[in-house]
Structure 1
Amino acid sequence: MSTEVKPLPVHYSLAAGAIAGVTEILAMYPLDVVKTRFQLTVGKAESNSILGTFKSIVKSEGPAALYRGIIPPIMVEAPKRAIKFGANDAYKNLYKRNFGFRDSQGLSVLTGVSAGATEALVVVSFDLIKIRLQDKNNAGKYKNTMDCVAKIMQEEGIRGFFKGMEATIWRHAVWNGGYFGVITGVRQALPEPETKQGILLKNFVCGSFGGTVGTLLNTPFDVVKTRVQSQVHPPYKYNWAIPAIVRIAREEGFSALYKGFVPKVLRLGPGGGILLVVYDLVTSYMRKHLL
């Protein structure tokens, strides 16, 4: 079975990425709330287990708290995932056409890093709002998403919405590079499927491996990003990503750089598989019916 497929126009890739992203977030969002709670905890947490944290949130804040802050991610999810896949395809075509690159795992890493850095520029403000709403310390401070936006503007100005930009670029560039690089490697290692079900299974396995490795690589930057974006009033304890990683490791131990790793990987491992399967299903439909 040939692996050569006709490149999609960028607007089709963007649309397919958007559909894949919204599907993933609706399925996996509560794990993101738990991840943020873990990452913002300095010292001993109320619960070290995912199930215990779920129970604690529901008991003290109600079931709706598991979806607190979901509006900003949904608002940005379409452009975010669209850029993840659309920009990845666009950068791949750019590097192949202008710089003579050929399809390889190295090219997949390069295009993933490039797409991730581009993606970060779009998502940083939405992610900051989400973090503020998910933070237990802000319970009762914000009535809703728009109230959170208004108070950030009032207290921190327009620059406040771009807090954590550098850490966000690191986070997305590293994750995307690992994700797309691993997908290419696993695809090459696995046998070529002969049925549609086999193709879906292979894509899910590739995406899950990619999501897991991407999460392993970028979690320290994610912890830093969450800490940076949760800060409201100076002096700020965390600023630049690398010095913040060193400080957290020194003060709390190396393991603190992986706080929230388990709920994060449980979301982004299978979530990466969901993304790839839905994206491939949608793009296959587009190639068959729209081109």
Structure 2
Amino acid sequence: MELSLAHPAIKAFMCGSFSGTCSTLLFQPLDLVKTRLQTLQCGMKPGSNRVGMVTVLLSVVRTEKLLGLWKGVSPSFARTIPGVGLYFSTYYSLKQHFFQDRTPMAFEAALLGGGARTVAGILMLPVTVIKTRFECGKYSYVSVTGALRSVCRTEGPAALFSGLMATLLRDVPFSGIYVMFYSQSKASLPKEISTSPSAPLANFSCGILAGILASLITQPADVVKTQVQVNPQLRTAEAVRYIYMEHGLQGFFRGAVPRALRRTMMAAMAWTVYEQMMARVGLKA
């Protein structure tokens, strides 16, 4: 079947890509701080003084200038623009195919979100690996394409899929939980609010609530994913054991604050912009 720019799935892809571009540019500093916190803390010896989010933030600004907070934004764009577009177009296509005539229930909404994230997560994982390495500060890559070539040449193509299991264990539940809470909280809004000019603000608030819950539940998987991608010699189980032996249960929640802020704000903004743009092109999100 031939696709054109007027095809609903293509429109959903374009709306999702635009929303991902806006949210990535705004919240990239939080992602960088989160990655630095996770890789720094897991490299510290037990008993060392803990380093907080503000300390890392000031250190980056002092040593790498203000623009240093946007280090890794190129691979973030390379991942997010097509990745969010792919996520929303997959979500829209699945929803239209299975739930065209009715609103998905809570469990069905979770499956929709998780399924869409699985497709996007697997396809975009190589760029996710490069993005994580850019942000951690341990690698001196110059460009995304140069980093991809370097990893393939020195570590083999398989390294570009390091952390696949941890990434899916983080992203699929996050998306499923987020979509479930977001759709249910939106459905519970009074009709006079959901149809008023303040509806985007109300939807954004629903997204904030859903994002906080989803971020906290999936935080341990994010710490493991970061360690595996920065240290590809570690397998997922080994990374879990290392983090626990070195830092205990609290080690799995390193970087939780900047990640929760970023993921929550990014998801809420992406969904709000996506839904508004879909409405403008005449489609129901």
Common fold: TM-score over 0.5: yes
Aligned to 2:70: 67
**What is the correspondence of 1:176-255 to structure 2 with a 5 Å cutoff?**
176-192=175-191, 193=193, 196-232=196-232, 236=233, 238-240=234-236, 244-255=239-250
Residue 266 of structure 2 corresponds to residue 271 of structure 1: yes
CA pair 246-96 structure 1, distance change in 2 beyond 3 A: farther
Q: 1:261 aligns with which of 242, 256, 264?
A: 256
AA in 2 matched with 1:81 = V
User: Cα offset for 1:11?
Assistant: 1.3
Residue 78 of structure 2 corresponds to residue 83 of structure 1: no
Q: 1:148 & 1:181 partners in 2: Cα distance?
A: 36
Aligned to 1:159: 158
User: Cα offset for 1:25?
Assistant: 0.3
Q: 1:245 & 1:110 partners in 2: Cα distance?
A: 26
User: Cα offset for 1:199?
Assistant: 0.6
- Assess if the C-alpha contact under 8 Å between 1:36 and 1:131 holds in 2: yes
Q: 1:275 & 1:143 partners in 2: Cα distance?
A: 28
CA pair 257-196 structure 1, distance change in 2 beyond 3 A: same
AA in 2 matched with 1:125 = P
- Assess if the C-alpha contact under 8 Å between 2:224 and 2:239 holds in 1: yes
Residue 117 of structure 2 corresponds to residue 121 of structure 1: no
Q: Over residues 175-200 of structure 1, what are the superposed CA-to-partner deviations in whole Å (9 max), with x where a residue is unaligned?
A: 10011001022113332216543211
Q: 1:174 & 1:108 partners in 2: Cα distance?
A: 12
Give the number of aligned pairs: 272
Q: Over residues 238-257 of structure 1, what are the superposed CA-to-partner deviations in whole Å (9 max), with x where a residue is unaligned?
A: 313x6643552343111111
Aligned to 2:144: 145
User: What TM-score do the two structures reach when normalised by structure 1?
Assistant: 0.85
AA in 2 matched with 1:169 = L
Aligned to 2:9: 10
Q: 1:258 & 1:160 partners in 2: Cα distance?
A: 25
Deviates more, 1:27-36 or 1:166-175: 166-175
Q: 2:102 & 2:188 partners in 1: Cα distance?
A: 21
Q: 2:68 & 2:22 partners in 1: Cα distance?
A: 20
Aligned to 1:111: 112
Q: 1:244 & 1:255 partners in 2: Cα distance?
A: 14
User: What TM-score do the two structures reach when normalised by structure 2?
Assistant: 0.87
Q: 2:95 aligns with which of 92, 98, 101?
A: 92
CA pair 94-194 structure 1, distance change in 2 beyond 3 A: closer
Where do 5+ consecutive residues of structure 1 fail to align?
1-7
CA RMSD of aligned residues (A): 2.3
Q: 1:79 & 1:161 partners in 2: Cα distance?
A: 17
User: Cα offset for 1:46?
Assistant: 7.4
AA in 1 matched with 2:26 = A
Q: 1:221 & 1:113 partners in 2: Cα distance?
A: 15
What's the % identity of the aligned pairs? Answer: 25
CA pair 53-46 structure 1, distance change in 2 beyond 3 A: farther
Aligned to 2:38: 39
User: Cα offset for 1:147?
Assistant: 3.1
Question: Runs of 4 or more off by more than 6 Å in structure 1?
Answer: 44-47
Q: 1:243 & 1:185 partners in 2: Cα distance?
A: 37
Aligned to 1:4: none
AA in 1 matched with 2:235 = N
- Assess if the C-alpha contact under 8 Å between 2:29 and 2:69 holds in 1: yes
Q: 2:29 & 2:194 partners in 1: Cα distance?
A: 36
Deviates more, 1:184-193 or 1:119-128: 184-193
Q: Over residues 128-175 of structure 1, what are the superposed CA-to-partner deviations in whole Å (9 max), with x where a residue is unaligned?
A: 11111112222xx32333332232122112222111112222221011
- Assess if the C-alpha contact under 8 Å between 2:15 and 2:274 holds in 1: yes
Aligned to 2:56: 53
AA in 2 matched with 1:130 = K
